[in-house]
């Protein structure tokens, strides 16, 4: 779960990364200029004239001398055009001295000018997702929680009278659907997955298994419990009510854009979140429309979810998700019994 302090550290890290990227791009550019100046006197002379004209323009701007501003703007433009022609004649291309930014869209600032003003660049959102993933320690969890370690022996082969199928057979069917989900991950027709059932049946473990498969495909994953997830929705709702757009709204934007979002233990966010259920619905709409996949786990059955969420929210869940019911004996209880039996013998 990401706390506010963790968010602050992530933002500070991102800002340092962009600052370093800009510095690296400028250092590389200055190195090119120095090398060309040593090889071409014409280039060196032009470059010195450009520097002097730039200084004159800066002085004119500071003194608000409009005549000098126009004069040195023209001089600078003319000199830059001459330098560009020289670069082309040397076979280097007109963009040779442009800084080699990691992201040409935002020039390694992390922000771009969009229709709604200053917006977070996609590269910054992706960086936020990557750092959030690193901080979540999910990589370490997935060393154990993966399909190689998934044990079907914990699911009884005795038919459950109420379900008409054994927990073992039911889990086999669920695994088939999970593998279809992974295989068809990029297809718009593939719905998200909603695992529901009592505690200790492997819902979170299954979600982790899927996360491992998706990460192995070089795609991004964010795993949040419902408490952390709804905290982000609350913050988004607050900004919407105040008609306040914050350009560093990386948390919410990263949840919108991550390839796979896993919301664990839906319903555990508690009371007092009803006011942002509308944001939840809009959020699900956005991810579905942009073909971003979501997995939800919950300990509540269908009736329990209906008591927690409105008909509209449940409508979204039924439309966008395949509901997969897990049942059987609590795996943690089975493991505890097995350990006791081993000790007794």
Q: Could you give the CA distance from residue 1 to residue 16 in angstroms, rounded to a whole number? A: 23
As a whole number of angstroms, the distance between CA 276 and CA 279 comes to 5
Residue 178 has a pLDDT of 96
Parts of the chain belonging to CATH 3.40.50.300 = 142-344
Average pLDDT score over residue span 275-283:
91
What's the mean pLDDT in 158-162? 94
- Flag the least confident range among 193-197, 231-235, 326-330, 340-344: 340-344
Confidence (pLDDT) at 342: 66
Percentage of the chain lying above the pLDDT 70 cut: 95
Helix ranges, 290-345 (H): 302-308, 311-320, 331-344
Model pTM score: 0.78
Percent of the chain with pLDDT over 90: 65
Instruction: Count CA atoms closer than 13 A to 147's CA, side-chain side.
Output: 14
- The pLDDT of residue 1: 43
As given in the structure block, the two tokens for residue 135 are 């901080």
Render the burial of 119-132: b for 16+ CB within 10 Å, e for the rest: bbbebbbebbbebb
- DSSP one-letter code for 160: B
Closest to 260 measured CA to CA, from 307, 213, 301, 329: 213
Residue 5 confidence class, pLDDT cut points 50, 70, 90: very low
Fold of 142-344: Rossmann fold (3.40.50)
pLDDT interval class at 209 (50, 70, 90) = very high
Phi, psi of 212 (to 5 degrees): -60, -45
């Amino acid at each position: 779960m990401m706390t506010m302090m963790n968010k602050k550290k992530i933002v500070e890290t991102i800002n340092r990364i962009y600052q370093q990227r800009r510095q690296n791009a400028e250092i590389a550019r200055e190195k090119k200029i120095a090398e060309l100046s040593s090889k071409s006197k014409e280039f060196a002379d032009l470059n010195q004239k450009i520097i002097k004209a730039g200084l004159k323009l800066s002085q004119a701007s500071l003194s608000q001398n409009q005549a000098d501003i126009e004069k040195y703007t023209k001089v600078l433009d003319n000199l830059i055009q001459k330098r560009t022609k020289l670069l082309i004649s040397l076979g280097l291309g007109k963009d040779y001295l442009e800084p080699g930014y990691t992201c040409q869209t935002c020039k390694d600032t992390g922000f771009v000018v969009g229709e709604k003003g200053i917006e977070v660049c996609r590269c910054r959102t992706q960086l936020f997702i990557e750092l959030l993933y690193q901080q979540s320690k999910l990589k370490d969890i997935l060393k154990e929680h993966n399909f190689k370690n998934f044990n079907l022996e914990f699911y009884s082969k005795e038919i459950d009278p109420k379900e008409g199928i054994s927990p073992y057979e039911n889990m086999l069917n669920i695994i088939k659907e999970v593998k279809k989900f992974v295989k068809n991950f990029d297809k718009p027709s593939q719905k998200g997955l909603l695992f529901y059932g009592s505690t200790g049946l492997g819902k979170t473990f299954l979600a982790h298994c899927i996360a491992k498969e998706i990460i192995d495909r070089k795609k991004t994953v964010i795993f949040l419990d419902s408490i952390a997830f709804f905290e982000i929705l609350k913050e988004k709702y607050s900004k919407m009510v105040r008609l306040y757009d914050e350009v560093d709204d990386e948390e919410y934007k990263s949840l919108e854009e991550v390839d796979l979002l896993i919301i664990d233990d839906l319903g555990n966010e508690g009371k007092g979140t009803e006011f942002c259920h509308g944001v939840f619905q809009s959020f699900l709409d956005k991810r579905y429309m942009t073909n971003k996949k979501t997995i939800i786990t919950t300990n509540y059955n269908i009736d329990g979810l209906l008591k927690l969420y409105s008909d509209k929210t449940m409508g979204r869940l039924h439309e966008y998700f395949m509901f997969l019911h897990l049942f059987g004996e609590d795996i943690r209880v089975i493991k505890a019994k097995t350990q006791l039996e081993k000790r007794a013998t």
